[in-house]
C-alpha cells in the first residue's frame, strides 16, 4: 500500500512531538507501506512569520503576496527537515522534498494559490526504494518558479492533492480530534464517532461550521476518489474514513448535526415586491465581498415584502451600511439585524431517498418551544436559524430524535 500521512501544527509543535510523529510514520513503514508525509509548520511559527511581514511595513497596508509567500513558506520547510532527521534517527530512511523539487505546481494567485499538478516522478522512485518522502504542506511553486502558499489550512489540501497525484491508497489526516462525530461532543455527551462518512456529508459538515477538515481538501478528495482518514496524533484509536457513497453499506438517514455561531441575520422590511429588487440588494453585497448564506422572502402583502438573510457575523455592520446606501434604488422601510442566532444543520445522504426528515426536525424543535426563523435545504442537508440561546437544547434534542445517541 502507498499512504500519505499529514500532521498539523500542534502535532509538530516541538522536537518531542516531531519524534512522536516519526513513531506514527514508522508504524506504517513497518507494516510494509510506502509513505509520504505532509507536515505543517510548528504551531506558532506561521503566526510569527505573518506578523513580521506586517510589522516591516510603515507606508503600505498589505505586504506584496509574492514576498509574503517566500517568508511564510519557510515554516513548513523547517519541519520537513526536522522530521526527516527524526525518522533517520530511529532507523527509517527519509528525505525532505521541497515544493520546487517535486514540483508541486500551483497557479500564481500568491498567498491563496491552487494546486494545478504534482509530478513527483523522482520522489515516487525514491519512495519505491523504501525512503519516506517528507513534504511541506501549504505551498507550491508557479510555472515561472516562484514560491506560493495555498492560504491558511492549505496543508490538508496539499496532503490530499499529493495522495491523488501519487495514487495513494489512503490519506491519513492526523489532527487534535480523533475523528468525525455525529455532533460536537463538547455539547452533546451522547455524540458518537463515525467509522465512515461520505465526501458529500463531510463537505456539508465542513461548510456548515465543523472545523475538522478544510473544505477544499474534501472537494479534492471527492474529485479524485482519495480515501481520507481523520484521526488523532495523540492516540492510537482508528479514526473516521471519508469515502465514496457506494463504500458505505448501511446508510444512516442522518449522519450528523452541525451548528455555526458565525451567522448574523438581517431583515430588510417592506421592500417593493417587484422584479429586480433581489438583484438590486444582493448584487451590491456580493460586490462588497459579503457572503450571503440563507435567504427567505415573505409572502407579499400590499405589494410589499420582507427579505431576511444571513451573513458572516464579522460582516454584519458592513452589510447594514451597504444596504443603507441602497435606500434610494430599492426602497424599503427599515433594516433590522440580529447577531444572537445560530444555524443548525442536519446532514445525511440518506435523506435523498427518505421523506419526513425535515418534518422530524421541525416537530422536534417545536416540541421544545424553539422558533425557526429561517430555513434552507439542499439535497442532503436541512438548515434552520434559531435564537442562539437554544443551541445546546436543540442540538441534544435533534441528536436524540434522529437516533444518533450512543451509549
Binding flags for its own copies, 166-205, as an x/- string (CB under 8 A): ----------------------------------------
Counting contacts by CB under 8 A, is residue 112 touching its own copies?
no
Which of the residues 354 through 393 are near its own copies (CB under 8 A)?
A: none
Phi, psi of 386 (to 5 degrees): -135, 170
Q: Which three cell numbers stand for residue 16?
A: 518531542
In angstroms, give the least distance from the CB of 331 to its own copies.
Answer: 45
DSSP annotation of 176 reads S
d(CA 353, CA 379): 10
Q: What angle do CA 385, 387, 390 make, to 5 degrees?
A: 105
In angstroms, give the least distance from the CB of 134 to its own copies.
Answer: 9
Q: How many residues bind its own copies (CB under 8 A)?
A: 41
Among 90, 143, 189, 237, binds its own copies (CB under 8 A): 90
Among 98, 171, 202, 252, binds its own copies (CB under 8 A): 98
Which of the residues 58 through 87 are near its own copies (CB under 8 A)?
A: 58-60, 63-64, 66-71, 74, 77-78, 80-82, 84-86
With beta carbons less than 8 A apart as the criterion, state whether 293 and 313 touch: no
Return the exposure string of 29-58: e unless at least 16 CB atoms fall within 10 Å of the residue's CB, then b.
Answer: beeebbbbbbbbbbbebbeebbeebeeeee
In angstroms, give the least distance from the CB of 298 to its own copies.
Answer: 51
Among 26, 50, 100, 335, binds its own copies (CB under 8 A): 100
In angstroms, give the least distance from the CB of 109 to its own copies.
Answer: 18
Among 1, 44, 47, 89, binds its own copies (CB under 8 A): 89
Counting contacts by CB under 8 A, is residue 215 touching its own copies?
no
Binding flags for its own copies, 6-25, as an x/- string (CB under 8 A): ---------x--xx------
SS (H, E, C) 273-341: CCCCHHHHHHHHHHHCCCCCCCEEECCCECCEEEEEEEEEHHHHHHHHHHHHCCHHHHCCCEEEEECCE
Handedness of CA 6, 10, 11, 14 (dihedral sign): positive
Residue owning grid cell 453585497: 285
Counting contacts by CB under 8 A, is residue 143 touching its own copies?
no
* Contact positions vs its own copies (CB under 8 A): 15, 18-19, 49, 52-53, 55-60, 63-64, 66-71, 74, 77-78, 80-82, 84-86, 88-91, 95-96, 98, 100-101, 145-147
Amino acid at each position: 500500500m502507498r499512504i500519505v500521512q499529514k500532521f498539523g501544527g500542534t502535532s509538530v509543535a516541538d522536537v518531542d512531538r516531531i519524534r512522536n510523529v516519526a513513531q506514527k510514520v514508522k508504524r506504517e513503514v513497518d507494516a510494509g507501506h510506502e509513505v509520504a508525509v505532509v507536515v505543517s509548520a510548528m504551531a506558532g511559527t506561521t503566526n510569527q512569520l505573518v506578523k513580521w511581514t506586517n510589522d516591516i511595513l510603515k507606508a503600505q497596508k498589505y505586504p506584496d503576496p509574492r514576498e509574503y509567500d517566500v517568508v511564510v513558506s519557510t515554516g513548513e520547510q523547517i519541519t520537513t527537515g526536522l522530521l526527516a532527521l527524526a525518522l533517520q534517527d530511529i532507523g527509517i530512511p527519509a528525505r525532505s522534498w521541497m515544493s520546487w523539487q517535486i514540483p508541486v505546481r500551483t497557479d500564481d494567485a500568491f498567498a491563496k494559490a491552487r494546486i494545478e499538478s504534482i509530478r513527483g516522478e523522482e520522489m515516487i522512485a525514491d519512495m519505491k526504494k523504501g525512503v519516506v518522502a517528507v513534504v511541506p504542506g501549504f505551498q507550491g511553486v508557479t510555472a515561472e518558479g516562484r514560491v506560493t502558499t495555498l492560504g491558511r489550512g492549505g496543508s490538508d489540501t496539499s496532503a490530499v492533492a499529493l495522495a491523488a497525484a501519487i495514487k495513494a491508497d489512503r490519506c491519513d489526516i492526523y489532527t487534535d480530534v480523533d475523528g468525525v462525530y455525529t455532533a460536537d461532543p463538547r455539547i452533546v455527551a451522547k455524540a458518537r464517532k463515525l467509522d465512515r462518512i461520505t465526501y458529500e456529508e463531510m463537505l456539508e459538515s465542513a461548510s456548515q461550521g465543523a472545523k475538522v477538515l478544510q473544505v477544499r481538501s474534501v472537494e479534492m478528495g471527492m474529485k479524485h476518489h482519495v480515501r481520507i482518514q481523520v484521526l488523532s496524533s495523540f492516540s492510537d484509536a482508528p479514526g473516521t474514513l471519508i469515502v465514496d457513497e457506494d463504500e458505505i453499506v448501511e446508510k444512516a438517514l442522518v449522519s450528523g448535526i452541525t451548528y455555526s455561531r458565525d451567522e448574523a441575520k438581517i431583515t430588510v422590511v417592506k421592500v417593493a415586491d417587484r422584479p429586480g429588487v433581489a438583484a438590486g440588494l444582493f448584487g451590491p453585497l456580493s460586490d462588497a465581498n459579503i457572503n450571503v448564506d440563507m435567504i427567505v422572502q415573505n409572502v407579499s402583502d400590499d405589494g410589499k415584502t420582507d427579505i431576511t438573510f444571513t451573513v458572516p457575523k464579522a460582516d454584519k455592520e458592513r452589510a447594514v451600511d451597504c444596504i443603507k446606501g441602497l435606500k434610494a434604488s430599492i426602497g424599503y422601510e427599515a433594516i433590522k439585524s440580529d447577531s444572537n442566532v445560530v444555524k443548525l444543520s442536519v446532514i445525511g445522504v440518506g435523506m435523498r431517498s427518505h421523506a419526513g426528515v425535515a418534518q422530524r426536525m421541525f416537530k422536534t424543535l417545536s416540541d421544545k418551544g424553539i422558533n425557526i426563523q429561517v430555513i434552507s435545504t439542499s439535497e442532503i442537508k436541512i438548515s434552520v436559524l434559531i435564537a442562539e440561546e437554544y443551541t445546546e437544547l436543540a442540538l441534544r434534542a435533534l441528536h436524540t430524535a434522529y437516533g444518533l445517541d450512543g451509549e
